[in-house]
Structure 1
Amino acid sequence: MEAIFIPIVMTLVGALPMKPQESSPFLSQVADHTWIIGNEIWNLTQGPKYGVQLYYKDHDCVGGAVGHYVSYSSAQGADYIDVIFTADEGEMHWVIFSGLAGAYQYFVNRALPVLGEFRTLWRLDNTTFPRGKTNLRDEALPPLSDYIAANKVQDETWLSPDGNGYITKYDFTAWVRAQTYYGVYGDSFGSWYVNPGKDYYNGNHLKQELMVHRESATGDAVQLNMIHGTHFMASSSDVFPDGKMWGPWLWYLNNGSKEDAAKRATEEFASWPYEWFGDAAYQSRGSVTGQLVLSDGRPAANAAVFLGDKTPNKTALDMGSDYYYTSYADANGRFEFQNVRAAHYGMQAWSNGSKIADVTTSFLRNDIAVEKSRTADLGTLTWDVSNKTQIFQVGDFDRMSYGFQYGGAPFQHALVASCPENLVYHVGQSETSDWCFGQTYLGNWTILFDLPKMLNSTIARNATLIVSLAGYSSGASSTIWANGQWIGNLTSDVPGLLNDPSLYRSMTAAGEWRYFEFEFDPDTLFQETSNEITFQMTRSTTLHGFMWDSIILEW
C-alpha cells in the first residue's frame, strides 16, 4: 500500500522561535520550510517532509537513511516547548524538555481521510542501530546482503541464503497493548518508543503490530509507531472525529542500554496520564468497576474485558475511531478500568480461557457513562451462557490458538506448513496439543467421539457445532461433515470470512477472530460410538487457511 506523506508547516505554542541555548529546548528556522529543533542533548533538522540529521552525542543517527516522518494509507511549560508541524490533515507535536534525550510526540486530527494505516516512524542508520527489540524478540536485524531478489517469496519475505529458513519483517511483530518499550539499538546508541497510554490505539487485547524491521530497499533500521495499524486484521477503515488525539508517547535516545530504556519506561508508565499535558479532554478521566458473574453461577474468572464504542457495529478488534481500554477480570470476575477519558462507552467481555474456557457467549452492555474524577460502579453483571449439553470441546475458547501444536509459538514464517494434511483426534484419548493450530492443506481433519448413553436424539431439538477461528486467510475452503452428512461450509463466500493475513505473515496465536454455529439434525449422530465430525479442505492456497480457537459440539 502506497504511503501518503503529510506535508507540514511549523508553529510553536506559547513561545517565539529560539536559538540554541546551553540548557534550553529550542526551535530555529534555517531556511524556507526547514527548521532545527532540539535541546542541549540532541537536535533534528526538519524539512517539509522528513526529519533528518538527528544529532545525538555528536553523531548523526540518521546518516543516509530516510529519517523521521508521518504517513497514512487510504501547552507550554516553563521547562519545555511544544513545536507544532501543521498540515490540512492535522498537527504533529514535538514536546521538548530541557535535559531530555528525546521528545514527547502526539498527533491531533483535523481532516484525516477515512483510513486504515496511520503511523509515525524513524528510518535510521543501519550501522548505528543494528539490533531490534520488542518485548518478544531481541536480536540483530538481518543484514541487507541476505535480501536476495531471487529468494523473495512474498511481500517483505525472503528465503534465507542458506535455504534453511526465512527472513521477514513480520517476525518482529508484538502485542500492542502488552508493549512496554521497543526500538532499535547498538553498542553506543539506542532509539526507543515508550507508549504508556494505549487508549488511542485501535483494537482490543488481540491487536498485534509490526514494531521494528530492516527496510529491504535501503537497509535502513526502521522503528515503527503504528498508532492505527492493520497488518493482521481483516479490515479496519475508520472515520476520525476532529480532535482525535494519538499520544503523547515518548521517543527516547540513549547509549543503547536496554536497562536504561526499561527504567525510563517504568517511570513513564507510573506518571501516565501526564500531569504536564494541559489538554482538558486528556485530563478529564474517570474509572469503571464491576463484577461479571455467569448465569450458571460461576464468576467470570480472568475474562477479557473491553471498553469501546457504545453501540458497536464492528468487532472489538476492528474499532479505531475513538479511545479504547482493555483489562482482565480477576478470579472472582471483578474488573476495573482506570484513567478512562470522560465519554460514553460499550463494554464487552469474552472468555480468556482458564476456568471459563467452555464459555462461547460474549457479554455486552451499552452506554456506560464515564465522568471526570468519578467511578462508574456497574455492580454485579449477569453474563448469559449456553444451557445446552456439551458433547465435546477441542481447544479452550479464548479467541487464540493456544494449547494446539505450535499455537502461540514465536512468530515464524511458514510454521503452519508443519501441520499435517490429515489428522484424527479421539475425544477422551487425544491431547489438545494433538490438534495443530492451523489447517492449510487439502485433506481431512476428523474428530472421533462417542455419545453419552443418557442422550436420546428423540428428545433433542437440534445439535449445534460451534466453530471458533482465531484467524482465517482466504483462498481456502472447507466442507464440514457429520457421519458423512453435510452440515456446512467454511469458504470466502461465507459472510464474516474476509481475509486476514495472519497465517501467511508469521502469526501463530491470532488474527481476526470469527465465530460460527452449524445446527443440524441430531439423528445424524445415530451411533453411540465412533461418531465423526470432519473438516474436509477442498480448496487450498499456500499458507492460507484456518487458524483454530475452539470446536465445540452441543446437544
Structure 2
Amino acid sequence: MKAFAASITAWLSAGTAHAAIASVAATPFLNQVDNQTWIIGNDVWNMTQGLQFGVKLYYKDRDLVGDAWGHYVSYNGAANNLAWTSARIVTNGTYHSTPFIDVLFTAAEGDMHWVIFQGQHGAYQYFINHALPDLGEFRTLWRLDNTTFPNGRTVTKDGPLPPLSEYVAANKVQDETWLAPDGKGYITKYDWTSWLREQDYYGVYGDEVGSWYINPGKDYYNGNHLRQELMVHRESGTGDAVQLNMVHGTHFTASSNDAFPDGKMWGPWLWYLNNGSQPDAAAQSHKESASWPYPWLKDPAYQTRGRVSGRLVLSDGRPASHAAVFLGDNHPNKTSLDMGSTYYYTTYADKSGRFEFRDVRTATYGLQAWPTPNSSIVDVTTTLLRNDVVVGKKGVTQLGEVDWAISNRTRVFQVGDFDRYSYGFEYGGAAWQHALVNNCPADLVFKVGVSETGEWCFGQTYLGNWTIEFDLSEDLEAEKDALLTVSLAGYSSGASSTVWVNGGTKVGNLTSGAPQLANDPSLYRSATAAGEWRLFEFGFGAGVLKKGVNTITFELTKNSTWHGFMWDSVILEL
C-alpha cells in the first residue's frame, strides 16, 4: 500500500487520504479528486487519470510512468486525444466471488471502460463509440518510463528498444526513420511491426516490471489475416517506451477510413502488469483466450453469438486445403483488408477444406476465402465470395459444401505462389526491416523451368527491366486469347511500370496514381511480406507469342526511393 498512499497524498490532504486508503484497501476503487482528476486502481496498482492522460501509475512501490506521457486514447494519430468529462462506476459486482468494478470515463466521442478486479495486476479495458468521426486510426496506448521498460516484445520480435541517443536528427531520412549512427542500417519504429491477428501478448518490459496487452478476442479489429500493425516502439521525441493498442489502424493499408455505428465496441482486452516474465504473460494469455468472450460483461450484443461452419470445395473437385477464410461485410464495397466499421472474423480451413467460426456476433456477413501460404491451392487465382450468411443467436449456421469457382484456362507458367504474400521470393517474408528492398536488382531475368522461385526478388523499385523468359513448343493460333495475371502483395506509390510481350507489344501498365494503385506504405515502412493486395489481369491476342523463347517484361519507368512493387505471383494462361 506504500505506492497507493504516495499517489493519494499527491492529490488529497493528509486527513482525507487516510480515510480513502482505509475504505478501498481491499477492493477496486474510483476516487474523484476534482472535476478533471480521478484515481482508479485496486490493492495492487493505482493510476491518476487527468483530463487526457493517465499518469502516476504506481505498481510495486514505483511510478511506472515517470516523466513519460502515460495512458491516453486518441484518433488520427496524436491529432485528437480524447478529453474525459466525467467518471463513474457503472457496475459494482462480483465474479467467481471476486469483487470488481466497471469504471466509465466519458468523452464527447464515446466511453472508455476500465474493469478492475480485486487483486488483479492490471485491468480489462473496452471502448464504446458514440460520436467518433469517420477515421483511419483509433488507438489506446501507454507511454511509460524508458529506464523501467528498455525492451519490447511482439509475437515476431523480442529485444532491446533502440536507445534514444541513436536518434540523431541529422540522420533522419523519413517518418520515424533514421540512419544508424554507425552508418550501417536504419533505426525505425516500423521494425517493431507484427501480424495483428496472430499476436498472443505484446508489450514492454524490464528486469522487474512488464506491461502487456492481451487481446484474446480480435473481432473488433479492422482488416483480415494480413493486417500488420505497429505494436511497441521507442518514442523518438522523448524516449518514452510505447505500448500501442491500434484497435483500428492504417499503417499498412491503402485505405481504412470507416464510419462506425453508435455502440460499436472495441474490446475488452486485458492490460496486464507483472514482473517482466514472458512465461507468466504467456500463461495469462492462454487463460484469457480460454475465457473469451468474457462472461462478466453483461452487454447483450456482446454476449449474443453463434457459429458458422462449412467446407470449401473448388470447382475442379479439390478441397480448398488450408485456405484463408474471412467473415466480413455483406455485399462488400471494400477489400477485406480495408473493412472496419463493425466486426470481423478470420480462420483457416483444414486440409479437407472444412472451417468453423465460433463466438460470432449475430449479424449478416459476407464470406470470403483465398489461397494461403503453403497450402495446396496456391495456383488458384480467384477469390470466393458468398454473401448473406446469417448468424443467429446461439445457433450454428451450417453452409455445407461451398462451391468455389476457379479458372479453367491452360497454365503456361506461374512465378510465385498465389497467396497474397511475397513468400518464396528472395528476401520475401524476412523480418521487418527498413530499406531491404534496396538489395533487389534493377534488372532481372527469370527463366521458367530453369530459375528457382527464390531468384525472383520480393520487390522492384529501381528503374530497369524484370523479364520472364519461357518456351512454347508451337506457334499459337492468332485468334486465341492469352491472360497475364499480375498479383501484387503490396504497392507503395511513386513507381510506374509498362508490361511488354516479346519486347515490342505493350499489353498493360501499372501506373502510379491510378485508383487500383493507391498507396500502401508497406515497402517504405519495413514490410517484407505484404501490404495491400492488388490483382491485375491483362488480356492480349496469343498471336504475339511464338514457338520457342518468349518474354514478359516489367519495365519500371518511374521510381521513388523505397517505393514500388511487392510481388505475389505472375501467371500466364491461355
Given the two structures, how large is their TM-score scaled by the length of structure 1?
Answer: 0.95
- Is residue 2:441 matched to residue 1:420? yes
Q: Secondary structure at the match of 2:372?
A: coil
2:306 paired residue among 286, 302, 311: 286
Residue 8 (structure 2) aligns with:
none
Residue 28 (structure 1) aligns with:
31
CA contact (8 A) 1:18 1:26 kept: no
- Is residue 2:158 matched to residue 1:126? no
CA contact (8 A) 2:324 2:348 kept: yes
Which whole-Å CA distance do the structure 2 matches of 1:107 and 1:242 have between them? 11
- Is residue 2:245 matched to residue 1:242? no
CA contact (8 A) 2:44 2:121 kept: yes
Residue 538 (structure 1) aligns with:
557
Which whole-Å CA distance do the structure 2 matches of 1:107 and 1:182 have between them? 20
CA contact (8 A) 2:221 2:247 kept: yes
Which whole-Å CA distance do the structure 2 matches of 1:76 and 1:107 have between them? 18
2:419 paired residue among 388, 391, 398: 398
Counterpart residue type for residue 223 of structure 2: G
Q: Secondary structure at the match of 2:548?
A: coil
Shift of 1:285: 0.6
1:475 paired residue among 486, 494, 501: 494
CA contact (8 A) 2:365 2:387 kept: yes
CA contact (8 A) 2:92 2:100 kept: yes
- Is residue 2:19 matched to residue 1:45? no
Residue 507 (structure 1) aligns with:
527
Residue 390 (structure 2) aligns with:
369
Residue 542 (structure 2) aligns with:
522
Q: Secondary structure at the match of 1:504?
A: helix
What's the CA shift string for 1:299-357, capped at 9, x where partnerless?
11111100000110000000000000001111111110000001110000111142101
Q: Matches of residues 82-481 of structure 1 in structure 2 within 5 Å? A: 82-353=102-373, 354-453=375-474, 456-458=476-478, 460=480, 462-481=481-500
Which whole-Å CA distance do the structure 2 matches of 1:452 and 1:397 have between them? 25
Shift of 1:459: 5.8
Q: Secondary structure at the match of 1:355?
A: coil
CA contact (8 A) 2:476 2:542 kept: no
Q: Secondary structure at the match of 1:416?
A: helix
Shift of 1:451: 1.5
Q: Secondary structure at the match of 1:530?
A: strand
Residue 54 (structure 1) aligns with:
57
- Is residue 2:63 matched to residue 1:64? no
Which whole-Å CA distance do the structure 1 matches of 2:177 and 2:27 have between them? 45
Shift of 1:495: 2.8
Shift of 1:88: 1.5
CA contact (8 A) 1:18 1:27 kept: no
Residue 9 (structure 2) aligns with:
none
Shift of 1:506: 0.2
Shift of 1:18: 7.4
1:77 paired residue among 78, 87, 93: 93
Identity over aligned pairs, percent = 68
CA contact (8 A) 2:429 2:528 kept: yes
CA contact (8 A) 1:289 1:379 kept: yes
1:496 paired residue among 516, 525, 539: 516
Shift of 1:496: 1.0
Q: Secondary structure at the match of 2:147?
A: coil
Which whole-Å CA distance do the structure 2 matches of 1:18 and 1:250 have between them? 26
CA contact (8 A) 1:120 1:224 kept: yes
Counterpart residue type for residue 497 of structure 2: S
Counterpart residue type for residue 38 of structure 2: W
Counterpart residue type for residue 366 of structure 1: N
What's the CA shift string for 1:274-307, capped at 9, x where partnerless?
1111111000010000001000111111111000
Q: Secondary structure at the match of 1:261?
A: helix
Which whole-Å CA distance do the structure 2 matches of 1:223 and 1:495 have between them? 34
CA contact (8 A) 1:52 1:68 kept: yes
What's the CA shift string for 1:9-67, capped at 9, x where partnerless?
xxxxxxxx976522100111122310100000000000111000000011000000000
Counterpart residue type for residue 170 of structure 2: A
Which whole-Å CA distance do the structure 1 matches of 2:35 and 2:310 have between them? 56
Which whole-Å CA distance do the structure 2 matches of 1:143 and 1:312 have between them? 45
Shift of 1:457: 2.2
Shift of 1:76: 3.9
- Is residue 2:561 matched to residue 1:553? no
CA contact (8 A) 2:53 2:72 kept: yes
Residue 11 (structure 1) aligns with:
none
Shift of 1:87: 1.1
Which whole-Å CA distance do the structure 1 matches of 2:548 and 2:229 have between them? 45
Which whole-Å CA distance do the structure 2 matches of 1:279 and 1:189 have between them? 33
CA contact (8 A) 2:330 2:387 kept: yes
Which whole-Å CA distance do the structure 2 matches of 1:18 and 1:351 have between them? 59
Residue 4 (structure 2) aligns with:
none
**Structure 2: segments with no counterpart, 5+ residues:** 1-18, 80-90
Counterpart residue type for residue 381 of structure 1: V
Which whole-Å CA distance do the structure 1 matches of 2:20 and 2:438 have between them? 59
Q: Secondary structure at the match of 2:407?
A: coil
What's the CA shift string for 1:412-453, capped at 9, x where partnerless?
100000000100000000000000000000000000001244
Which whole-Å CA distance do the structure 2 matches of 1:171 and 1:135 have between them? 13
Which whole-Å CA distance do the structure 2 matches of 1:251 and 1:417 have between them? 39
Runs of 4+ in 1 over 6 A off after TM superposition: none
Shift of 1:458: 4.3
CA contact (8 A) 2:476 2:545 kept: no
**Structure 1: segments with no counterpart, 5+ residues:** 1-16
Q: Secondary structure at the match of 1:77?
A: strand
Q: Secondary structure at the match of 2:112?
A: strand
What's the CA shift string for 1:432-487, capped at 9, x where partnerless?
0000000000000000001244x732462x10000000000010010000012111
Q: Secondary structure at the match of 1:37?
A: strand
Which whole-Å CA distance do the structure 1 matches of 2:174 and 2:515 have between them? 27
Counterpart residue type for residue 539 of structure 1: K
What's the CA shift string for 1:223-254, capped at 9, x where partnerless?
00000000011111000000000000000001
Q: Secondary structure at the match of 2:294?
A: coil
CA contact (8 A) 2:233 2:243 kept: yes
Counterpart residue type for residue 388 of structure 1: R
